[in-house]
Amino acid sequence: MRYITFALAKGRLAKQTLSLLEKIGITCEEMKDEKTRKLIFANEELGFRFFLSKAADVPTYVELGAADIGVVGKDTILEEGRKLYEVLDLNCGKCRMCVAGPASAKELLNNGSLIRVASKYPGIAKDYFYNKKHQTVEIIKLNGSVELAPIVGLSEVIVDIVETGSTLKENGLEVLEEICPLSARVVVNEVSMKMQHERITKLLKELKKVIPK
């Protein structure tokens, strides 16, 4: 039997995914050992392999066929813009992609002025401002703590993931516009979907039944 290989985005999402998989009888004991240094884990009986990678790399592994199935946030899928089948919404890790900033920045979003936008997601930010709002902006790519940018004057607004909004609030920022809702998705490689059709659709069907509502 050929392996079906899963690429999972490191962190909370991977744990949630594994517990979902466990509910449909797909387990991976090796992976639960927190101290292990192994990079790839297998369930030989069922013919599954799993590995963890940085979220942004999951679409790459899946597009190029190194993994058959991936589990990753919608934010990453949008940002990476890879050719993938996006087959299932896992309905967890729910949050929103938003434009945020100080309340005073709100009018800058409506008068078409050239503003600076800081984000970890330059692709999403660009698509939103250029193709949806038709506003020319300067995008500044940051790698973390994006909330800092409007506070220290690096940018007027930011584009970032908002879960509860408490980090924004504590720093005197607020959600100005919502770009789209986000959640964890199951993605499948185009060729795997064809060549391993039976096993993958069976798995997806079972998985669909145990997704939290």
For other proteins, the binding residues (CB under 8 A) are 2, 60, 62-66, 83-89, 188-191, 193-195
Residues near 169 by Cβ (< 8 Å), separated by ≥ 6?
none
Tell me how far, at minimum, the Cβ of 47 lies from other proteins, in Å. 14
- Which residue, 106 or 208, is less far from other proteins as judged by CB? 208
Q: Which is nearer to other proteins, 148 or 193 (CB)?
A: 193
Rounded least distance, CB 3 to other proteins, Å: 11
Question: Considering the complex, what minimum distance in angstroms separates the CB of residue 58 from other proteins?
Answer: 14
Q: Where are the beta strands (DSSP E) in the chain?
A: 4-9, 40-43, 48-53, 69-73, 85-89, 95-101, 115-119, 137-141, 157-162, 174-182, 184-188
The encoded tokens of residue 97 equal: 């992609």
Of 84 and 157, which has the nearer Cβ to other proteins?
84
Residue 179 burial (10 A CB sphere; 0-12, 13-18, 19+): buried
**Contact yes or no for 187/84 (Cβ under 8 A):** yes
Give the shortest CB-37-to-other proteins separation in angstroms: 26
Q: Return the number of the residue (103 or 210) whose C-beta is nearest other proteins.
A: 210
